[in-house]
Structure 1
Amino acid sequence: MEASLPIKIKLQLMCGEEIAMGPGKADLLEAIRDTGSISRGGRAMGMSYRRAWLLVDTMNRCWREPLVETSPGSHHGGGARLTVAGVRVLALYRTLQDNVARTVQGVELAELQAAMRKAPKSSQKD
């Protein structure tokens, strides 16, 4: 979505009470894909290994097939990669985000934007 738009849409796919996929989880999947590791992917996003692992665990439990596959560590450490399902879910989610962003850029948004201030007043009495 364009930064200039006064709208923020946070697309979350729910699995029961759990968030199966959202912007942060998609970002984590990309970081794991790019680094080959849950810990390095999490670190790249400024999160602990535990937090990254918990997010991966939630994703793997919510989808019919796991999105991330890990390999056992050795003296060089283990690794992680996106599964075929993980690559597909990530691509579909990013496409859905793009489609939603394009959808909101219509007449209604333009009218709302015209009725909105550039910045809030310092108080309601101003």
Structure 2
Amino acid sequence: METTLELRLTYWVYLNGIRFFGPGRAELLAHIQETGSISGAAKAMEMSYKKAWRMVEEMNLEGKSPYVVAKKGGKEGGGTALTERGKAVVAAYNRLDHKLQALLKEEQELLDLI
């Protein structure tokens, strides 16, 4: 049996000592931006709509300002969109993630020592 070593990093932003924002919520917001709907994002993540809606509601209520807003109906129908704050949060999270993943690649030497 071949041994596989892998270096992983998991991190979250905590709000008042409670996990508030991390990889799952970042992915959810990215899918909302891509699909224009919470249900489309939930399907893309194989998550229930109820759970996705709850996550959006928590981010909107506990963040400095809402991350997701409902779009009015019309010819194209309704849906949801990220606010400027939501887009900025996703962009900042992705920048941090890129930097941390690059750091992990630089530190792969640790795996050679184990």
Unaligned runs of 5+ in 1: 117-126
Structure possessing the higher relative contact order (Cα contacts under 8 Å, 6 or more residues apart): 2
Q: What's the TM-score once normalised by structure 1's chain length?
A: 0.76
- List 4+ stretches of structure 1 deviating above 4 A: none
Q: Which residue of 2 aligns with 1:43?
A: 43
Give the structure 2 partner of residue 115 of structure 1.
113
What residue ranges of structure 2 are gaps of 5+ in the alignment? Answer: none
Residue-pair matches, total: 110
Percentage identity across paired residues of the two chains: 34
Aligned residue identity for 2:111: Q
Greater share of helix residues, 1 or 2?
2
What secondary structure sits across from 1:19 in the alignment?
strand
Backbone CA RMSD of aligned residues: 2.2
Per the TM alignment, residue 52 of structure 1 is displaced from its structure 2 partner at its CA by 0.3
User: Taking structure 1 as reference, are residues 73 and 18 closer, same or farther at Cα in structure 2, changes over 3 Å only?
Assistant: farther
Larger radius of gyration: 1
TM-score (norm 2): 0.83
Deviations along 1:72-103, one digit per CA (max 9) or x if unpaired, are: 568x8631000000000100000001111122
